[in-house]
């Protein structure tokens, strides 16, 4: 099983200098690549001088997370791609449990490890935590993370479990599956493109897994923090994109209508919090979605849309009304 660890970089010289040494140290047997999205800092010089054994692929422009990986992975041959954020600290033996999972479960096409917070190593990290799910209305959440509420890691998710989506911060995917699905949707630019990819994979009959036997630490917020209105815009818009593309037509339309109402409530909440930039971001997200609706609708795959996609009816209601912050209370096996 040939694994290629692929790091997408854009002006991340400091992150590469900090995190790349451990990737090289703890990834024996894997090939390491950096795909550079037309950086204007000294990233390329650093790689050539300090990390000559790392494969370097230069993209001509910064097309974001989605296009950056799509372009870069065309030049890399491997059985498994590990898409790794430049701000992730890997740990000893992090690859072995993932390899074992792929070998033991041939139906597994996508895998993610446990994602912990580098700034608070006792807790899960926002981007992926212990595997991703969505509710009936398409809102994403994770085992270990519901909206901004992060659980402490007490070993409660040290299992191997099928999940709905894997985080792009550290995603292992079979190369054949990635290319068959034509990679990430480049219209997303960044944020939630991994949810769409996993959703399309599941519609096509593939399975997504999480393993708590491997863990990494994610710094987070290196590109866009949760306080950045652009991230709010991308998350709200791209979630609507995924619903349009990946659900049966009637269900997609009814959910989009409900999201119009709920996203409006979220926008009003931003006003009450004096976050006017985020209020505007939600409005722009919906405007952008409606302008691009036909384009997204034409991307609908000719697949058997799965109907058991959601882990709960409404994460918004459960979290904000019933104050549920724990996945195992929210979703009981």
Using the predicted structure, report yes or no on whether residue 303 has a pLDDT greater than 80: no
Query: Residue 134, SS3?
Result: strand
Which CATH class for the 1-86 domain?
alpha beta
Mean pLDDT of 306-322: 91
pLDDT at residue 223, rounded to an integer? 58
Q: Is the dihedral of CA 221, 223, 226, 228 positive or negative?
A: positive
How confident is the model over 113-159, as pLDDT tens digits?
999 999 999 999 999 999 999 999 999 999 999 999 999 999 999 99
- The secondary structure of residue 187, as a DSSP letter, is G
Q: pLDDT class for 308, splitting at 50, 70, 90?
A: confident
CA distances from residue 87 to 22, 28, 66, 130, 311 in whole angstroms, order as listed: 11, 20, 17, 18, 29
pLDDT at residue 222, rounded to an integer? 56
Q: pLDDT class for 278, splitting at 50, 70, 90?
A: very high
Query: Residue 142, SS3?
Result: strand
% of the chain beyond a pLDDT of 90? 93
DSSP string for residues in 68-116: HHHHHHTT---SEEEEE-TTEE--TT-SHHHHHHHHH-TTEEEEEEEEE
Using the predicted structure, report yes or no on whether residue 161 has a pLDDT greater than 90: yes
How confident is the model over 169-180, as pLDDT tens digits?
999 999 999 999
Q: pLDDT class for 304, splitting at 50, 70, 90?
A: confident
Mean pLDDT of 185-214: 96
Query: Hey, where are the domains in the chain?
Result: 1-86, 229-330
pTM: 0.95
Mean pLDDT of 256-280: 95
Using the predicted structure, report yes or no on whether residue 221 has a pLDDT greater than 60: yes
pLDDT at residue 225, rounded to an integer? 59
Using the predicted structure, report yes or no on whether residue 332 has a pLDDT greater than 90: no
Q: From CA 112, how far away is CA 165, in angstroms rounded?
A: 9
Using the predicted structure, report yes or no on whether residue 333 has a pLDDT greater than 70: no
- Rounded mean pLDDT of the chain? 95
Contact yes or no for 145/123 (Cβ under 8 A): no
């Amino acid at each position: 099983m040939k694994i290629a660890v692929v790091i997408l970089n854009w002006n991340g010289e400091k992150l590469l200098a900090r995190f790349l040494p451990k990737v090289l140290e703890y990834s024996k047997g894997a090939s390491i690549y950096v795909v550079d999205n037309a950086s204007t800092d000294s990233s390329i010089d650093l790689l050539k001088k300090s990390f000559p054994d790392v494969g370097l692929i230069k993209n001509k422009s910064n097309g974001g997370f989605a296009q950056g990986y799509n372009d870069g992975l065309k030049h890399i041959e491997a059985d498994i791609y590990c898409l790794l954020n430049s701000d992730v600290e890997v740990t000893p033996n992090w690859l072995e449990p993932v390899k074992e999972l792929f070998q033991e479960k041939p139906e597994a096409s996508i895998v993610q490890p446990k994602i912990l917070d580098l700034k608070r190593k006792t807790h899960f990290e926002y981007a992926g935590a212990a595997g991703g799910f969505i509710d009936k209305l398409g809102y994403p959440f994770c085992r270990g993370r519901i909206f901004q509420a992060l659980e402490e890691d007490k070993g409660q998710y040290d299992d191997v479990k099928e999940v709905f989506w894997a985080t792009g911060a550290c995603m292992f995917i079979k190369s054949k599956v990635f290319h068959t699905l034509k990679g990430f949707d480049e219209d997303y630019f960044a944020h939630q493109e991994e949810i769409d990819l996993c959703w399309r994979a599941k519609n096509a009959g593939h399975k997504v897994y999480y393993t708590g036997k491997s863990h990494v630490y994610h710094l987070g917020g290196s590109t866009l923090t949760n306080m950045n209105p652009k991230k709010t815009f991308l998350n709200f818009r791209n979630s609507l994109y995924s619903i349009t593309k990946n659900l049966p037509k009637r269900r997609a339309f009814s959910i989009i209508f409900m999201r119009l109402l709920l996203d409006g409530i979220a926008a009003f909440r931003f006003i009450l919090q004096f976050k006017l930039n985020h209020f505007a971001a939600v409005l722009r997200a919906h405007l952008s979605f409606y302008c691009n609706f036909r384009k997204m609708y034409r991307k609908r795959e000719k697949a058997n849309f799965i109907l058991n996609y959601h882990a709960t009816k409404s994460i918004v209601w459960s979290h904000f009304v019933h104050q549920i912050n724990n996945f195992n209370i929210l979703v009981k096996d």
